[in-house]
Structure 1
Amino acid sequence: MESSTGAGSSGPLWRRRKEARPAEITAAALEVFADHGFAAARLDDVAHRAGVVKGSIYLYFSDKEDLFRAVVRSAVVPDMETVRGAAERFDGPFVELAPRLLLGAAAVMSRPSVSRFARVVIGESRNFPDLARIWHDEVVSPMIGAVARVIARAQARGEAREGDPSLYAFSLVGPLFTAMLFRDVFGEASDDPPNLDRLAEQHGQTVLCGLLAAPPA
């Protein structure tokens, strides 16, 4: 008689293994996309790294773009959501929120998976426009929208200058994104790649001087 805790085809271990497969596949795909880019990534390589047959991938993902979206959602979006949620829940003055927001964004952008995926999107979105749509809808738009709403609330309280909150949001996080790409592309060739934490701290103080309705004390 087969034990209910054994590795039989109908036992709990098998069910746990089946439930874990989408995560195992996306983890393997993260490595393949990061190493080879999107165009050169092969589902055979993903399957090999995940320890499954290629056909198993199609049980969970319709095609390579669907798998790319799942990888972005699992490897990038949760960290962005943490920063976004903390910013939207913060009810203190904007002069305290902006530095925290930038430091949180810097921590996320310092992770290799984020910068490497951003580079894949930038490099291959002309040939694969859906990559740009996925990155925009899952990462960029929610983050810029959250920062813009925070700035709009600060404007409503008279803390921030009048102006387009979305443009202010780009001004706030844009330098971090540029520095992230610089580090990823030129890191080994540069003698002094930008430190994202220090940039966030310095840029936060600089931008506040122009964004706040009254200069910070």
Structure 2
Amino acid sequence: MPDSSPLPPSRRSRRKEARPAEVIEAARDLFISRGFAATKLEHVARKAGVSVGLPYLYFENKEGLFKAVVRQSILPQFQMGEDLLDSFTGSSEEFLRGLARGFWEMEQSPNAGLSKLVIAEAQNFPDLARFYMEEVVLRGRRFFARILRRGIERGEFRPVDVEQMARVIAAPLSMLSLWNHSLRPFEPDPAAASAESYLDAYLDLVLNGLRAEPKDRTP
């Protein structure tokens, strides 16, 4: 009896299915290295190894391609963190520590530098800045707010203005990202200004400010 199972996709069809992701990856690299304004779709096509007109088959324009870059590069990281928080059984302090370390690990990925790009281009491309604010910044704040509410409800954190505290906690991590992609190579003493020591100081300040009871308090 002949085998009726479907044949695997041909190399050509697999290549076709991979093209949108390849275009997005090429665009991400060029946006970060050249900037949004200086990157043209023909540059993206050339880097992705596709015809000049092919990006237009998948993306309406350069702005649409940028949005796809953000949605593919950053938003899955948010989803992973949110899913982890849903099932996390440890303390909220432990979660914040892991989140800060995970943020720095993400800074080592090819996706790092997108936040600096948006800040640099925000005044010239307000629609893209607004998109990034809604899709990334506000989602990040909501995520921090969830962690804070969890800690308060469990008696781990003292009561605070959750919305404002979410901004306060997020801002130093954003600053670390900007520093990493701008002034870090010019630090006179790189060892003293390492990201690890920065995160240690950040966590010490944040967690000591949030704890419901100081750890060294005696009964």
- With the length of structure 2 as denominator, give the TM-score of the two structures: 0.85
The match for 1:147 is 144
The match for 2:60 is 62
The Cα offsets for residues 169-207 of structure 1, whole Å up to 9 and x where unpaired, read as 222232121122112111222223543333223321221
Matches of 2:101 and 2:202, distance apart in 1:
10
Structure 1 outlier segments of 4+, above 6 Å = none
1:25 pairs with one of 23, 26, 33: 23
The match for 2:76 is 78
Q: What amino acid is aligned across from residue 143 of structure 1 in structure 2?
A: G
Matches of 2:207 and 2:215, distance apart in 1:
7
The Cα offsets for residues 19-48 of structure 1, whole Å up to 9 and x where unpaired, read as 010011011111211121011111111011
Q: CA shift at 1:112, angstroms?
A: 5.2
The match for 1:179 is 176
Is the alpha carbon distance of 1:15 and 1:87 closer, same or farther for their aligned partners in structure 2, counting shifts above 3 Å? Answer: same
Matches of 1:134 and 1:146, distance apart in 2:
18
Q: CA RMSD of the aligned region, Å?
A: 2.2
Matches of 1:139 and 1:28, distance apart in 2:
21
* Aligned residue runs from structure 1 range 38-57, under 5 A: 38-57=36-55
Matches of 2:202 and 2:114, distance apart in 1:
24
* Aligned residue runs from structure 1 range 92-103, under 5 A: 92-103=90-101
Return 5+ residue gaps in structure 1 as ranges. Answer: 6-10
Q: What amino acid is aligned across from residue 103 of structure 1 in structure 2?
A: R
Matches of 1:88 and 1:199, distance apart in 2:
28
1:208/1:216 contact within 8 Å kept: no
Aligned residues: 209
Q: What amino acid is aligned across from residue 118 of structure 1 in structure 2?
A: S
Between 1:151-160 and 1:101-110, the stretch displaced more is 101-110
- With the length of structure 1 as denominator, give the TM-score of the two structures: 0.86
Q: CA shift at 1:110, angstroms?
A: 4.0
Is the alpha carbon distance of 1:59 and 1:19 closer, same or farther for their aligned partners in structure 2, counting shifts above 3 Å? Answer: same
Between 1:193-202 and 1:90-99, the stretch displaced more is 193-202
1:161/1:212 contact within 8 Å kept: yes
Matches of 2:215 and 2:76, distance apart in 1:
32
